[in-house]
Amino acid sequence: MQIEWDSLHEQAKIAMAKAYAPYSKFPVGVAALISDGRIISGCNVENASYGLGLCAECGLVSNLIASGGGRLIAAVCVGADGNFLSPCGRCRQLLFEHGGNDLLFMTPDGPAPMSKLLPWAFGPDDLTQ
Ligand code: THU
């Protein structure tokens, strides 16, 4: 499948602009290409109870399931400056569940597979052993 990284980057920036981040003032946006060709996105949504804030990737995964499911093929995450942002550890696990080792995540050095971002990941397959 053709991955249009530029349009994923644009969608991530659009999502970032919608973030609700009044506490950290650190808006984050993420966009992903799904196996059926659609593009989905998410932004961080913070809370007055600080620890309950939701990362942008949480919103992305929620949107993935709510909009019909599928596998994550490629993703771009950005901060306020529009530069590529590294997903936090918890979010790597969330992404792995729906993209596996082959999900490509954009880094400043180019696309990297989840197998590199989250080596020897624990996932659904481990539960069947
Ligand atoms: N954040 C994300 O949305 N995704 C990440 O992968 C890293 C961190 C958010 C959480 C919080 O709202 C803000 O960035 C500052 O940590």
CA of 112 to the centre of ligand 1 (A): 20
CA of 46 to the centre of ligand 1 (A): 9
Which residue did the predictor score with more confidence, 1 or 4?
Answer: 4
Domain ranges in the chain are 5-120
Does CATH number 3.40.140.10 belong to domain 5-120? yes
pLDDT tens-digit map of 3-55: 999 999 999 999 999 999 999 999 999 999 999 999 999 999 999 999 999 99
Of 4, 10, 57, 97, the active-site residue reads 57
Which DSSP string do the residues of the chain spell out, in sequence order? ----HHHHHHHHHHHHTT-B-TTT----EEEEEETTS-EEEEE-B--SSGGG-B-HHHHHHHHHHHTT---EEEEEEE-TTS-B-PPPHHHHHHHHHHHGGG-EEEETTEEEEHHHHSTT---HHHHT-
Q: Measured from the CA of 90, which atom of ligand 1 is nearest?
A: 6
